[in-house]
Amino acid sequence: MMMMMMMMGNTLLLLFLACFFINPASAPPTMDAPLHSINYHHRHPDGQFLGLLMAYPTEERVLQSSGVFVPDPLTPLFHLAGRRFNIGKIGNVPVVYVMSGEQMVNAAITVQILVDTFDILGVVHYGTAGSINSSLSLGDVSVPASVALTSSWKWLDFKSEAAQSPELKFGDYNLPRQGPNLLAAVEFTPTQVYSNGLPMKETFWLPVDPKWFDLATQLQNVQLEQCLNKTDCLPETPKVVYGLLGATADVFLDNVAYGQYLFQTFNISTVDEESAAVIMVCSSNEIPGIVFRGISDMAGGEHKLLSGSLSSLAASNALSAALKFIGMFDDEGQQTEPQQQWPLI
């Protein structure tokens, strides 16, 4: 009897060791596991996730206060690289939302982690932006067709010849009159984009996913806020505008002259610090991405219409449009069928 019990014990021990060493992926990582320890994609039982990304706390707070995001009861979050990936649903759509932090590097890193860690159908990005187009008013929401990285420059020598690409000549903005300037000019240069199985290409414009953009143009009855409170309201009801062009740079633009230059030279309407980085990473990973940007300021222009900050209202309006877009996946059943059990993390 003793011999039999020892043999059974040894057998169980061997089975445990076999499971531990042969299939290490079966041991789920902790919520604070490093990226290299995650060697499988997390999948929700209802299908792929939509990634939802915002950049700073005001934009996250409007989502939290809306109550539309329902955390998963078993695995509501995942900490990675200092960021909190929130797991749950909006309606019946599985969603992972994350606040990236401001500026391009933070946005790009966060989207890549999102794609590497979860089975992501695509990324919906919302937030605030400045307007340099007089047809876009405070509180409006822009859904751009393309975005560009406008901080990729070649700084030209003082005596250099005219550039091939559009250039910003600092001497044109001298006061009291135009003339030479030792800062010379900057030439706007294209961005290098890499994708699987394709050679690197240089491009200035980064288009959002055309199918998702077409789907977004079908949004109806998007309720946008007009008032901050009972006394401070915008003069007109905000609207959703499609197909404009946006610019991204690690610059908070509060200068009318530069805003006018971007609008007149490139027909750019909105400026922000993350959108082009989000779309670039989506493109490299061959997943769709789309942008919703609420207008919070006029990029240095006069906007003394309200006594309070417009950031919260603009973020709320951008979120409203983004939520309508996410809801279309629920209504039209565009989620994938489950392929495996969602592992606990």
Extents of the domains making up the chain: 49-146+205-249+268-331
Q: Which helix (H) or strand (E) is 16 found in, with range?
A: helix 2-22
The pLDDT, as a whole number, for residue 168 is 86
DSSP 108-172: HHHHHHHHHHB-EEEEEEEEEEEE-STTSPTT-EEE-SEEEETT-EEEPPTTPPPPSS-EEEGGG
Who's near 205: CB < 8 A, 6+ residues apart?
A: 146, 147, 148, 245
Q: What is the band of 155 on the pLDDT scale with cuts at 50, 70, 90? A: confident
H-run or E-run covering 20 = helix 2-22
pTM: 0.83
CATH of 49-146+205-249+268-331 among 3.30.70.420, 3.40.109.10, 3.40.50.1580, 2.40.110.10: 3.40.50.1580
Residue 146 to residue 210: CA distance in whole angstroms: 10
- What gap in Å lies between CA 71 and CA 32, rounded to an integer? 18
Give me the amino acid identity at 73: P
What is the sign of the dihedral through the CA atoms of 30, 125, 205 and 302? negative
pLDDT in tens, 196-255: 888 899 899 999 999 999 999 999 889 999 998 888 899 899 999 999 999 999 999 989
Residue whose structure tokens are 């219409």: 305
What is the average per-residue pLDDT within 182-197?
Answer: 87
